[in-house]
């Protein structure tokens, strides 16, 4: 490898260390906040001003500049809301800096492996797409886990109501027994009610934040029950059975479409993998494709592969 490749690897390693340090500081900040929240009232074992300790002036200024850029292009705060739904404990500016550094590391690694600046540019395009896809992946995974655990949670709440507990106390008891993400979201609901927010309003806010249709139905059912009366425990039992049946249908659909989804992933990843393997093993073999009309052919091929992958994924995506 020439000096340019060594320089790219050195720069990529430095950026990777910077990203690792940033993530470590984020985790330490979350642990400090958790320690303070777990203390009894009046305790001062952890300094409250420890949460206000920031990064170095250079890093803090860079994060602030990135945050201002995000605010200019994202006035509605969609990125902040997405990070919150994905449970990524980072500010938009921090995530932007981390994603940018990871993108540069990926581009440097691809250039170091292939020796082609075109492949390095492809890494610069893939990086932001990967950062956005990671957020959507985290949101989808938490949503699926929440939907799978919701019927059992409603059944537990209904049983507590039948035993004579109030609705809020039943939710608290369920939160103590549940696993994340159910315990995290309902724990936040309980915390909001302690600040004076009505239970049904906090529940509606949680349904809006998570964008889960089953939870919207629960909110509507509870609102109707509060208006017309009736036994809330029986209503929640009925909702739990209905949601559980929908979850079974959703799982059947996922099994039946698994072959198509796997085929889409394999067919989409096969061509880039073969290109990188050939370019790494024999750099001169693909040289005609990286100049002149070869670039046009590669661009047309990428467009066709993208179009085909989108069609296959849309065919396999069935709403239940």
Tens digit of each residue's pLDDT, the chain (320 residues): 455 555 555 555 565 566 556 555 655 665 665 555 555 444 445 454 454 445 555 555 666 666 677 777 777 778 888 888 888 888 888 888 888 888 888 888 888 777 777 777 888 888 888 888 899 999 999 998 998 899 999 999 999 999 989 899 999 999 988 888 888 889 889 988 988 889 999 999 998 888 888 899 999 989 988 888 888 899 999 999 999 998 898 889 888 888 888 988 898 888 888 888 887 788 778 788 777 788 888 888 888 888 888 888 888 888 76
Q: Could you identify the residue written with the tokens 């085929």?
A: 263
User: Distances from the Cα of 30 to the Cαs of 19, 35, 101, 283, 316, in angstroms?
Assistant: 17, 9, 22, 46, 38
Model confidence, pTM: 0.74
Confidence at residue 14, expressed as pLDDT on a 0 to 100 scale:
61
Which DSSP letter does residue 282 get?
A: -
Q: What distance in Å separates the CA atoms of residue 57 and residue 37, rounded to the nearest whole number?
A: 28
Note the maximum CA span of the chain: 78
Q: Is 310 helix (H, G, I), strand (E, B) or coil?
A: helix
Confidence at residue 52, expressed as pLDDT on a 0 to 100 scale:
47
Confidence at residue 36, expressed as pLDDT on a 0 to 100 scale:
53
DSSP H helices, 115-198, are 117-162, 167-177, 182-194
Helix axes 293-316, 258-281, angle to 10 degrees: 160
Long-range contact set of residues 37-43: C-beta below 8 Å, sequence gap at least 24: none
The answer to whether 50 and 107 have CB atoms below 8 angstroms apart is: no
Q: What distance in Å separates the CA atoms of residue 197 and residue 221, rounded to the nearest whole number?
A: 19
The answer to whether 141 and 210 have CB atoms below 8 angstroms apart is: no
């Amino acid at each position: 490898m020439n000096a340019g490749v060594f320089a790219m690897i050195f720069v990529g390693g430095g950026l990777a260390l910077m990203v690792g340090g940033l993530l470590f500081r984020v985790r330490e900040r979350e642990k400090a906040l958790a320690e303070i929240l777990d203390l009894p009232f009046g305790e001062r074992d952890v300094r409250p001003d420890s949460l206000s300790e920031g990064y170095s002036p250079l890093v803090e200024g860079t994060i602030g500049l990135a945050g201002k850029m995000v605010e200019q292009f994202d006035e509605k705060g969609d990125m902040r809301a997405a990070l919150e739904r994905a449970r990524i404990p980072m500010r938009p500016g921090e995530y932007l800096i981390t994603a940018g550094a990871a993108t540069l590391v990926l581009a440097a690694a691809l250039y170091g492996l292939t020796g082609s600046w075109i492949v390095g540019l492809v890494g610069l395009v893939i990086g932001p797409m990967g950062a956005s896809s990671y957020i959507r992946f985290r949101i989808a995974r938490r949503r699926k886990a929440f939907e799978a655990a919701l019927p059992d949670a409603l059944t537990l709440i209904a049983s507590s109501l039948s035993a004579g507990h109030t609705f809020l106390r039943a939710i608290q008891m369920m939160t103590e027994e549940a696993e994340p993400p159910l315990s995290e979201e309902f724990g936040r609901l309980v915390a909001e009610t302690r600040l004076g927010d009505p239970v049904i309003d906090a529940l509606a806010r949680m349904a809006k934040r998570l964008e889960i249709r089953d939870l919207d139905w629960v909110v509507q059912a509870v609102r109707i029950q509060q208006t017309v009366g009736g036994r809330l425990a029986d209503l929640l039992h009925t909702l739990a059975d209905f949601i559980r049946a929908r979850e079974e249908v959703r799982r059947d659909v996922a099994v039946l479409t698994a072959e198509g989804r796997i085929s889409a992933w394999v067919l989409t990843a096969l061509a880039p993998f073969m290109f990188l393997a050939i370019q790494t093993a024999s750099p001169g073999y693909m040289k005609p494709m990286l100049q002149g009309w070869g670039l046009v052919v590669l661009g047309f091929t990428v467009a066709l592969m993208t179009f085909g992958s989108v069609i296959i994924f849309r065919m396999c995506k069935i709403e239940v």
